[in-house]
């Protein structure tokens, strides 16, 4: 990325687009001081004056690092130079307040947004749901779910549904998590029906179809995520259904799904199933990730399965040692 930025700044004549692109890359890579220096350079340049996009990229960088002081300061500067608040502005500010756990300011922001007659959009709901989900604030997540269903059902898309799935899972509200998982299936079913109508092929699935009926409109990526969330919730019967759907279509479980599956079975005491998943990973020349290794070894130890716990840790260590040897400068 460094070489890309240097090339852009060296070979492309100074202009707001190029400078803003580099500024955004700096912000997203956490190089805040360099981003700030570039912003100052842009302000003093005749050819690359900061635009609304520039300011929003800076605002977003501060939001992502939960630096509320700098976020609010740049927001004030935006108002001073005549940049009006928009959906983008409010969504970024909400994300920043949420990450900083400044929920009073977040609620005040929602009131200001309403006063400005800028209704929540899909991303706005995702940001709010994620903010409250991260702190397991179940009542607030539930309030948002009721609000979007009652007032803005047209905004419910897969992205929004997944945001609710994640937050309800974090809040351990499994019933609500399952409701929104069904929403993912419903949206997939509706999408499949729309495609079939446009193509004039196939049988259109019923509007209320779920599970296997709606599988054509649910992507493999969706199903991998379902495996992960069902495992986290301990709903291994539901996991089995989804895994069967994936394998019936000739798919393979992803690396993250296999890790989730191993942890899920171990957590409910199905060590035989957990070991089968580990064998499947070994057959594909995969090894559990570090967090799964730690979780499995801890669960196996508590269950008195000391030998199996040691084997898992040794397996991970051997993989790490082999990887280090392969990529070390002196290995060639």
Structure tokens at 7: 């090339």
What confidence tens digit (pLDDT) does each residue in 295-317 have?
999 999 999 999 999 999 999 88
Contact 260, 231 (CB under 8 A): yes
* Owner of token pair 């994640």: 166
Determine the Cα–Cα distance for residues 20 and 115; give it in Å rounded to an integer.
31
More confident residue, 247 or 169: 169
Query: Mean of the pLDDT values across residues 27-34?
Result: 95
How far apart CA 134 and CA 232 sit, in angstroms, is 15
Query: Does 165 have pLDDT greater than 90?
Result: yes
- The whole-number average pLDDT for the span 18-31 is 94
pLDDT, tens digit (0-9, with 9 covering 90-100), for 244-292: 989 888 899 999 999 999 999 999 999 999 999 999 999 999 999 999 9
Question: In angstroms, rounded to a whole number, what is the distance separating the alpha carbons of residues 58 and 75?
Answer: 10
Kindly report, residue by residue over 104-118, the tens digit of the pLDDT: 999 999 999 999 999
What pLDDT shows up at residue 66? 97
């Amino acid at each position: 990325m460094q070489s890309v930025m240097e090339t852009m700044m060296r070979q492309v004549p100074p202009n707001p687009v190029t400078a803003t692109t580099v500024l955004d890359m700096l912000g997203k890579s956490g190089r805040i001081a360099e981003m700030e220096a570039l912003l100052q350079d842009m302000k003093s340049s005749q050819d690359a004056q900061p635009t609304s996009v520039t300011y929003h990229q800076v605002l977003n960088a501060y939001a992502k690092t939960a630096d509320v002081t700098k976020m609010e300061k740049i927001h004030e500067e935006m108002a001073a130079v005549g940049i009006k608040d928009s959906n983008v502005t409010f969504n970024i500010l909400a994300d920043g307040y949420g990450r900083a756990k400044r929920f009073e300011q977040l609620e005040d922001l929602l009131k200001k947004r309403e006063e400005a007659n800028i209704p929540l959009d899909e991303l706005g709901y995702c940001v709010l749901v994620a903010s409250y989900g991260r702190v397991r604030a179940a009542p607030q997540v539930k309030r948002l779910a009721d609000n979007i269903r009652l007032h803005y059902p047209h905004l419910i898309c897969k992205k929004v549904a997944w945001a609710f799935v994640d937050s309800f899972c974090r809040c351990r509200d499994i019933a609500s998590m399952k409701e929104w998982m069904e929403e993912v299936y419903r949206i997939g079913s509706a999408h499949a029906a729309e495609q079939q109508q446009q193509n004039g092929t196939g049988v259109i699935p019923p509007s209320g179809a779920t599970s296997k009926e709606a599988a054509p409109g649910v992507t493999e990526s969706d199903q991998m995520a379902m495996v992960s969330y069902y495992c986290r919730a301990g709903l291994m019967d539901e996991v089995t259904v989804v895994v069967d759907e994936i394998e019936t279509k000739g798919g393979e479980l992803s690396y993250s799904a296999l890790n989730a599956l191993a942890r899920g079975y171990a957590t409910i005491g199905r060590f035989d199933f957990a070991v089968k998943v580990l064998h499947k990973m070994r057959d594909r020349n995969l090894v559990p990730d570090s967090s799964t290794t730690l979780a499995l070894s801890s669960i196996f130890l508590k269950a008195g399965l000391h030998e199996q716990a040691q084997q898992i840790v040794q397996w991970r260590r051997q993989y790490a040692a082999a990887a280090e040897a392969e990529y070390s400068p002196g290995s060639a």
